[in-house]
Amino acid sequence: MKNLSLVFSSLALVGVFILVGMKVSEKKMPKPTYTIKDSTGKEFILSGGKVGYVDIDTLESNYNYFKTKKAEFEVRQKNIDAELEKLASALQNEYNGLQKQAQAGTLSQADGEAAQQKLMQRQQDLELKRQNMGANFLKDQEAFNKEIHDNLHQYIEKYNIEKGYDYILSYSKDGSILYANKDLDLTRDIIKGMNSETPNSKK
C-alpha cells in the first residue's frame, strides 16, 4: 500500500518577495541598494530605504495555527492509511480463504468464478477509494497552504502600515537567498503578531 505523502510547501513562500509599502521619500536623499544572489549565483539588486525579511523555517516552527493544522493533517493521514490497510488486509484474507477452498476441492468452478469476479470488483473499489481519499487530502492541504500564505500577507500589510518597509523578503535555509543579515530579521515580530490573531479559517 502506498502511503499518502504529507508535503507542506514551506508556506508556498520560499524565495518569493513580499513587496510592501513602496513609498517615495519626500527628501531627495539617495537610497541604499542591496545586492542579493539567488541559488544559481545570479545577482540582482534591490533599491530601497528599508528592507526586512521573514525566516519561513522559524515561522513554521512557531506559528501556532500552522503547527496545530499540520498535526491535524498528520493524524488524518495516519487514519487514511490505517483504513486502507484494513480494507486491503480483509481482501487478502478472503482471497487466501478461497485459495484454500479451491485446493481442498470444496469450491465448485461456478462458485470460484463468481467469487473471483467479486474479489476483482472489490479490489477496483478499493483502488478508487484510495484515489478519492488521496485527492481530497491533497486538495484540503493545498487550500490550507493558500490560507497560511494569505494570513501572512494580510498580517504583513497591516504590520507595515506602522513600520514602513520598502521590501519584506521571505528567507529559508534551503531557499534562493544565500545570506541574510540578522539585523533585518522581522520573524519574531511577525510570529508574535500572527499568534495573537485568530486566522480566518473555513472549517
Q: Could you tell me where the DSSP H helices lie in 105-186? A: 109-163
How far is it, in rounded angstroms, from Cα 113 to Cα 117?
A: 6
pLDDT cut 70: percent of the chain above it: 73
pLDDT of residue 18 exceeding 50? no
pLDDT of residue 21 exceeding 50? no
pLDDT per residue over 138-191, tens digit each?
999 999 999 999 999 999 999 999 999 988 998 988 887 888 889 999 999 999
Helix (H) or strand (E) holding 53: strand 51-55
pLDDT per residue over 90-129, tens digit each?
999 998 988 888 888 888 888 888 888 999 999 999 999 9
C-alpha cell at position 62: 512557531
- Where in the chain are the domains? 10-195
Domain 10-195 has CATH 3.30.910.20: yes
Q: Say if residues 188 and 50 touch (Cβ distance below 8 Å).
A: no
DSSP letter, residue 197:
S
- Considering only residues 73 and 101, tell me which one the structure prediction assigns the higher pLDDT: 73
pLDDT of residue 67 exceeding 70? yes
How far is it, in rounded angstroms, from Cα 55 to Cα 172?
A: 6
Report the predicted TM-score, pTM, of the whole model to 2 decimal places: 0.72
In this prediction, residue 118 carries a pLDDT of 92
